[in-house]
Amino acid sequence: MRAFISDIAYLLRTKWSFRLAIVYLALLTGLVLLLPLLPLPFSPNELNLQHAFQKPFTNPTYILGTDQLGRDVLSNLLWGARNGLFIAVPVMLLSAVLGTAVGAVAGYFGNSKWKLTYAQVLLILVTIPIVCYYLIHLPMQVVLYSLPGKVAGMAIVAGLALSAILWLIIKPLLNNLMRLRQTIAIPVDGIALRLIELLTSIPRLILLISVAAFAGPSLWLLSVILICTFWTGTARLARAEMLRIVQLPYIEAAISTGMKHRRVILKEALPNLLTPVIVAFVFGVASLLAVESTLSFLGIGLPATHASWGRTISSIRLNLSAWWLVALPGGFLALTVLALQTCSYHLIRLSQQK
Amino acid sequence: MLQQPAIKRLLVAIPVIWFMVSAIFLLSRLLPGTYGETQLLSPEAGFYGKSLQTDRTAAYQQLLQRTGQDLPLFYISIAPLSEVHTATTFSYLVPDLEWHGTRNQYHHWAAALLTGHLGVSFTNSQPVSALIADAAGNTFLILLVSMVLTSVLAFYAGIAMVQDTGKKWRKPMLALLVLLDSIPLFVLCLLLLLLLANPDAWQLFPVFGLGLNLHDTQSNWVTQASYMVLPVACLVLANLPYLTNQVYTSLTGTLQAGYIKTARAKGLPHAKVVTRHALRNALLPVITTLSDMLPALFAGSVVIETIFAIPGVGRLLVSSVLSRDFPVIIGIVIVVALIKMVSHIVADVAYSAADPRIRARTA
Amino acid sequence: MRKLYAIFLSLLLLLTYCSQPKQQPGQVSVRLASEPHTLNPANYNDMAAMQILNLVFQSLLGPDLEDAQLKPILAKSLPLIEQKDSVTYITYEIREEARWTDGSPVTSDDVAFTLKVLKAPLLQNEQIKPQVAFIQDLVIDKDNNRKFTFVCNRFTPEMELLSGDFFILPAYLFDPEDLLASIPVAALTDSLSKLENNENLKAFAARFNTPDYNNNGKILQGSAGYLLQEWVPGQSIVLTRKENWWGNNTSASNLTANPSRIVLHVIPENTTALLALKARQLDVLSDIPALEFDELKTNKDFLEDFNLHTPDSYALVYAGINSRLAKFADKKTRQAIAHLIDVPNIIKVTQQSYAVPSVGIVPPSVKEYYNTGLKPYTYNTGAAAQLLQQAGWQQRTNGWFRTANGKEEQLTITVTYKAGSTMLETTALIFQASAAKINIPVQVEAQESSLFSKNSRNHSFEIFFRTLTGNPFNFNFEPILHTSFAETGGTNYTGFGNAKTDALIEAINHATDKGQKAKLLKDFQKVMLEEATFLTLYYQKERLAINKRFSNTKVSGLKPNYDISAFLLQK
């Protein structure tokens, strides 16, 4: 981590484009965080029906113009940036962490290095249906039929108690049986790959439409689905890199000296993964910002009361000559992506030079 | 020697695919509503009643029966919780399972699938396989052409950028790609459409469809191709930045490696080092990206097919999701999943071909 | 490298040269916004299918778009209706010149066959079946094989319309083995379970439930002037005119088949359709977005070739308030909400003024029934606040409060609409902004269409905005406004009505005299306005463009807004 900070300091001193990008991103972050405190003349949802489709730079009240409902484009841009980044960054961060973890573990252990005893496998197989029934199915039924909350509570307690009994009492008993103490290799890589295939084979569109059918557009559900579908990209890249890294002589040496797997992964292999993960992260944030506007285009995005770049862009469909509704948010989007891109480019270059 | 792991992978893949399509079958039925429900149970009422609610409910029941949707979904089901269950006793803590035998939707569907039938569409009784075959031709043509074009351009640009002669192009090129990448696909489509197929601007290309010229039997590949230019261009432009960046980063990465430096020290010209040595290693991450691009391309085809009015799989999918035509939805997902699975296997085989160290492990 | 560019450029030029499809003079090209699911005349369920089927099949009666009157098509004249006790007899006679494609005459047996297909179990007929459920039997005249009588249950005013509304199918083509001949029409009315094991019916179902009866032009042939020549899925549907069609020899002006060829292109995206129109690849385009329509009006080049039309439609946009909820139970609260809907601005923003505000459910374009003595609610926050106070709400700094049953509640509103409609979304947002002016928090929620209709059916909504399509010939408001349809699952979503309004609706239905009907309808508009449960915002105007090559286009407010079969080439 310390090396990373000194890298950044070095880049700041030597590369002007990196400095520019960092300054822009810092300004944007500050702006986005402090936005509720700023004295903007209009809120993003304030309508002014007398001044719809005002061109930018002609009206001093609406510097950047208005859309079809007379909403101020400037405040929509800023709030759109806030809402967009508040979704994209946490979602991509979680996806990247999840993806790197799965990819690194899968790539490192392959199909033969991770071993469990028969007893552990048996217990895992029993625990899964218990968790599904008591911790997922029952609470969902309670929400669905609006039953008293204590039912859900009881179910969760029962589920946890059953799992505890299994792992704390039954497991030691099982370990006494000779046959169950034999170990079996878990094909981590295979499982991870199948899981990725399963997730990527369902088009995201179907998932989104079905969720919209359940609960209407909502920020939380949208984020969950995006995380669930975005981590696979990072995972595949991380796995591919890990497959290469594990073959490197110094990792092989580390393993042969008896270093623990966990240590090898965290200390030796992960720093090498940084480059592809950063590239994936940067492109992920950028594509998330674009995905959000595409969803608005198809009518299944964020709720209509949420300011977003996508919402502003999609109003072009009502008036093809209102160029500023595409150009301004589009330009803002491009600029943000460009800054992110520049940062990652320099970081990649630096890590490659070492 | 390479074929053996591929066959093994295929054998492993079959149960996985089966599990996957079963999961999709069961999950898709979680979509509320079914075909005909909206029209039959809550029609847009007008200034007179076209029919009585009881008659409509009866017709809906007939529809469910005719299409086999009145049966239970799976072999077993868990009875839903009710107030009675939960008011006083704790009986809900024991799952209330019910066995339905083979008279269930999953069994019928799976049995038909094993004999190669994907079922018939609820809306027009057409076999799903025929519907998909009709639509798939157009989609795959566009996807294939754009994927090949994207890869060729990406490698061309990537190589040009790492070579000494291309240095001055590098920065503007990267900036241009980033700019391109930040434009959402639908905006790109609309922009190209408004610029290049608009009588008010330049009308270079036809606006919509795939140009099966009905009144003109002389339709040849040239007229066909002119309809493809805009959609393909959109897909290429949309996917080019990501792939080029992948090629570029992995090329620069490998160029730093020791053996490349040796090759250069031997006095090989830079261009040759790139094409002979670095490219082969740089292929690895790119292969992953390519096989991963398929769903992105597919999602892109949904947008493109809607805007350019191309009858393809993407549009078929959207319209069947909207009308809840389950057999078609599941049919499409199965086909897409199968293609993805095969492309993953091909990617893995290509991987081991490109990096001999991995070959030893997967064999 | 240079060579590559040269090849690329020449290829581009070549493509450009070949790319412009040319229009043929006798052909009409029309846009379909969505492809029909099926063209089965017994099971179609969308506007697109109805428009196409009207060119291939004929019903007994149908509206003439020229003057929006119900006119006989296959029937010789309007039917004779007799009421005896609780049974209604409707007698028709088919035109003697009416012929199927093979030249054989259309007879009562074909009508009987059609009824059997529509009413039988096991067949793909669920969409149309409920519409003919009221017809119990068909009695064929012994002396005249073109004359027959429908025996119907009870009486409703729309029976005339409905009894002539379904497409008559050719028995010789649909059932060449006469499988259904042995089943009487009356047997299909009551318990159907017995028939489910009928071997003949099963054999017919096996034939009828196939794709051929959904899309094959060889089977789908009716008595109208066009044949379904080709259906390229997802792309286009082509119809060609029959040689020597019987309708050409009649004097009826609503039986036409003028263009020799009709091509319907499936173009889902509006922008694309508009560009295709400008490129002269389409001859007709309806549902043009309001802003674009304004732009077309000033486009000289475009106006050289196209006429623009804005007929008054019968589609209205309304706000439904769920009067079953305690907070909206008081009439005054609902009236206050009505004062918060800024209709003129909503029309200006969503329809660019292509709409007419209306006091109630009767379209202003139907002058004899529209109550001009009433004034619609005006946007007035002061009046709204006053009404709320009268209804027992107290204004505080953070909103409106009321104590009911010992519990304090705040006045909050959730507005729902069908997801994907920009027009309704904008309407909801404008309402939200207006309500915010007097501190009423409004939550706007788009709901996916099946969820939205389910919630409407179960009455779990507060206020919704939706559209409704009426017509100029029938004003039976029973299904949407009578209390007998107000139970859960019924189509009276808002819970409108009491004994007085129910009686008024029934009186309107039974009024035979036009003057009396007008008086009752005007009274009803007054009551509806006062109740403020079902708030009509406006009636839309259609916006369409038609190529100047054609005359006799029969532009109308009724869907599909023009009659392609009537289009005549101008010399």
Helix axes B221-255, B185-196, angle to 10 degrees: 130
Interface residue C428 vs chain A (CB under 8 A): yes
The chains in contact with chain A, meaning 3 or more Cβ pairs closer than 8 Å, are B, C
> Does a structural domain hold residue C6?
no
| Whether residue C254 sits in one domain with residue C228 | yes
Label residue C330 by pLDDT band (50, 70, 90).
Answer: very high
Chain A partners within 8 Å of C455 (Cβ)? none
Distance to chain A for C426, nearest Cα, Å: 8
The answer to whether the beta carbons of residues B253 and A275 sit under 8 Å apart is yes
Predicted confidence (pLDDT) per residue in C198-218, tens digit: 899 999 999 999 999 999 999
Q: What is the DSSP string of B21-36?
A: HHHHHHHHTTSS--TT
Secondary structure of chain C: what % helix, strand, coil (to 5)?
35, 25, 45
- C456 and C328 housed in the same domain: yes
Contacts across the B-C interface (CB distance below 8 Å): 221
The sign of the torsion formed by the CA atoms of C96, C100, C101, C104 equals negative
For residues C286 and C389, state if they share a domain: no
Q: Any idea what the CATH number is for the domain that residue C71 is in? A: 3.90.76.10
C-alpha angle with apex C129: C128 to C133, nearest 5 degrees?
125
Query: Where residue C168 falls among pLDDT bands split at 50, 70, 90?
Result: very high
* Side-chain-side CA neighbours of residue B213 (13 Å): 22
Burial grade of C357 (CB within 10 A; 0-12, 13-18, 19 or more): middle
Are B307 and C14 in contact (CB < 8 Å)? no
Q: How confident is the model at residue A69 (pLDDT cuts 50, 70, 90)?
A: confident
In this prediction, residues A138-158 reach a mean pLDDT of 81
What is the Cα gyration radius of chain B? 27
Extended beta strands in C73-183, E state: 80-84, 87-93, 135-140, 147-153
> What chain B residue is nearest to C301 in terms of C-alpha separation?
B200
Picking from C271, C422, C430, the nearest residue to A320 by CB comes out as C271
CA-closest candidate to residue A205, choices B241, B119, B301, B34? B301
Same domain, C305 and C165: no
Q: Where are the beta strands (DSSP E) in C431-525?
A: 442-447, 463-469
Q: Are residues C113 and C199 both part of a single domain?
A: yes
pLDDT at C348 over 80: yes
Of the listed ranges A126-140, B274-288, C86-100, the one predicted with least confidence: B274-288
State the Cα–Cα distance between residues B83 and B81, nearest whole angstrom: 7
Interface of A with C in 314-343 (CB under 8 A): 317-321
Stretch C64-77: mean pLDDT: 90
Each domain of chain A, given as residue ranges in start order, spans 2-113+187-353, 115-185
CB C331 within 8 A of CB C498: no
- At C341, phi and psi to the nearest 5? -95, 115
- Bridge-based pairing of strands C550-551 and C568-569 is antiparallel
Nearest CA to B210 out of B314, B137, B113 is that of: B137
Indicate the DSSP class of residue C125: -
- Scanning C289-328 for CB atoms below 8 A from B yields 301
- C347 and C228 in a single domain? The answer is no
Å between C231 CA and nearest CA of chain A: 27
What does the pLDDT read at residue A343? Answer: 79
Interface list for A 263-302 with C (CB within 8 A): 299-300
CB contact under 8 A, B46 and C234: no
Number of domains observed in the structure of chain C: 3
Instruction: Give the C-alpha separation, B178 to B189, whole Å.
Output: 17
* Residue C59: half-sphere exposure toward Cβ, Cα within 13 Å: 23
pLDDT digits (tens, 9 = 90+) for B222-231: 666 777 788 8
Contacts of B135 (CB under 8 A, 6+ apart): B311, B312, B313, B315, B316, C233, C234
Regarding beta strands C261-266 and C27-32, do their DSSP bridges make them parallel or antiparallel, or are they unpaired?
A: parallel
Model pLDDT for residues A187-226, shown as the tens digit of each residue: 888 888 888 877 776 666 666 655 655 555 567 777 888 8
Neighbours of A128 (CB within 10 A): 10
Whether residue C435 lies inside any domain: the answer is yes
Q: Do both C180 and C266 map to the same domain? A: no
Rounded Cα distance, C300 and B218, in Å: 35
Q: Token pair of A69, please?
A: 């409902």
Residue C121 CB neighbour total at 10 angstroms: 19
Average pLDDT over residues A19-33: 90
Contact C122, C202 (CB under 8 A): yes
Token representation of residue C492: 């009276």
Of the listed ranges A324-338, B214-228, B320-334, C408-422, the one predicted with least confidence: B214-228
Angstrom distance (rounded) from CA C462 to CA C415: 7
The DSSP call for residue C122 is: S
> For residue B207, what pLDDT is reported?
63
> C332, C391 in Cβ contact below 8 A?
yes
* Model pTM score: 0.81
Residue C268 lies in a domain: yes
Is C10 contained in some domain?
Answer: no
In C, residues 283-302, which contact A (CB 8 Å cutoff)?
A: 289, 291-292, 295
Triad A129, A135, A138: Cα angle to 5°: 95
Architecture of domain A2-113+187-353: Orthogonal Bundle (1.10)
For B:228-287, CB contacts with A below 8 A are: 242, 245-246, 249, 252-253, 256, 284-285
Does residue C560 fall inside a structural domain? yes
In this predicted model, what pLDDT tens digit does every residue of A256-281 receive, in sequence order? 887 788 888 887 778 777 777 877 78
Both tokens of residue A105? 């573990």
| Dihedral, A189, A193, A195, A201 alpha carbons, nearest 10 | 180
C385/C534 same-domain check: yes
C377 and C303 belong to one structural domain: no
Task: Specify if C350 maps to a domain.
Answer: yes
C-alpha angle C272-A313-A298 in degrees, rounded to nearest 5: 60
- Classify C135 as helix, strand or coil: strand
pLDDT at residue C140 tops 60? yes
Q: Provide the shortest C-alpha distance from residue A178 to chain B (in Å).
A: 31
In a domain, C149, yes or no: yes
Q: E strands, chain A, where?
A: 115-117, 183-185
CB C237 within 8 A of CB C220: no
Q: Rounded distance, CA C254 to CA B101, Å? A: 58
Neighbours of A69 (CB within 10 A): 22
Of B239-243, C45-49, C398-402, least confident by mean pLDDT is B239-243
Q: Long-range pairs for C296-303 at CB < 8 Å and ≥24 separation?
A: C296/C545, C301/B199, C302/C278
Contact B267, B109 (CB under 8 A): no
Sign of CA dihedral C117, C122, C125, C131: positive
CA A137: distance to chain centroid? Answer: 26
Q: For position B359, what pLDDT does the model report? A: 52
What residue ranges in chain B does DSSP mark as E strands?
76-78, 97-99
pLDDT for position A298:
62
Instruction: Tell whether C422 is within 8 A of chain A (Cβ).
Output: yes
Kindly indicate the confidence band of residue C81, based on its pLDDT and cuts at 50, 70 and 90. Answer: very high
Q: Do B63 and C161 touch (CB under 8 A)?
A: no
Q: Specify whether C349 is located in the same domain as C452.
A: yes
Last residue of a domain, one of C197, C215, C233: C215
Could you give the C-alpha distances from A205 to A94, A96, A127, B301, B335, in angstroms and in order?
Answer: 21, 21, 32, 12, 16
pLDDT tens-digit profile, chain B (363 residues): 445 666 777 777 778 778 878 887 887 776 666 777 777 776 666 676 677 777 888 888 888 888 888 888 888 887 777 666 666 677 777 777 888 888 888 999 889 888 888 888 888 888 999 888 888 888 888 888 888 888 888 888 888 887 777 677 777 887 788 777 767 777 788 778 777 777 666 766 766 666 544 444 444 556 667 777 888 888 888 888 888 888 887 787 777 766 667 777 777 777 777 776 777 777 776 777 777 666 667 767 777 887 777 888 888 887 887 777 888 888 887 887 777 777 777 777 777 776 666 555 543
Contact B214 C236 (CB under 8 A): yes
Contact yes or no for C147/C207 (Cβ under 8 A): no
Overall average pLDDT of the C174-196 stretch = 83
Q: Which domain range does residue C278 map to? A: 24-53+224-311+544-569
- How far is the C-alpha of C157 from the C-alpha of C131, rounded, in Å? 14
> Which ipTM value was assigned to this complex?
0.81
Q: Which segment, A68-72, C439-443, C455-459, is predicted with the most confidence on average?
A: C439-443
Q: Which residue has the tokens 């263009």?
A: C259
Quote the minimal CA–CA distance from A303 to chain C in Å: 7
- Compute the distance between CA of residue B100 and CA of residue B73 in angstroms, rounded to an integer: 9
Q: Is C314 helix (H, G, I), strand (E, B) or coil?
A: strand
Cβ(C453)–Cβ(C491) below 8 Å? no
The H or E element that residue B342 is part of is: helix B326-354
Q: Kindly state the average pLDDT of the residues C56-67.
A: 92
Closest by CA position to A190, among listed B136, B16, C399: B16
Cα C388 from Cα C434, distance rounded (Å): 15
The verdict on C273 and C392 lying in the same domain is: no
Sign of the four-CA dihedral B99, B100, B102, B104: negative
Q: What is the pLDDT of residue C526?
A: 94
CB C469 within 8 A of CB C315: yes
Query: Taking 80 as the threshold, does the pLDDT of residue C22 lie above it?
Result: no
**CATH number of the domain to which C339 belongs:** 3.10.105.10
- Between CA B6 and CA B11 the distance in angstroms is 9
Q: Which residue has the tokens 């408004």?
A: B194
Same domain membership, residue C373 and residue C235: no
Q: Which residues contact A3 (CB under 8 A, 6 or more apart)?
A: none
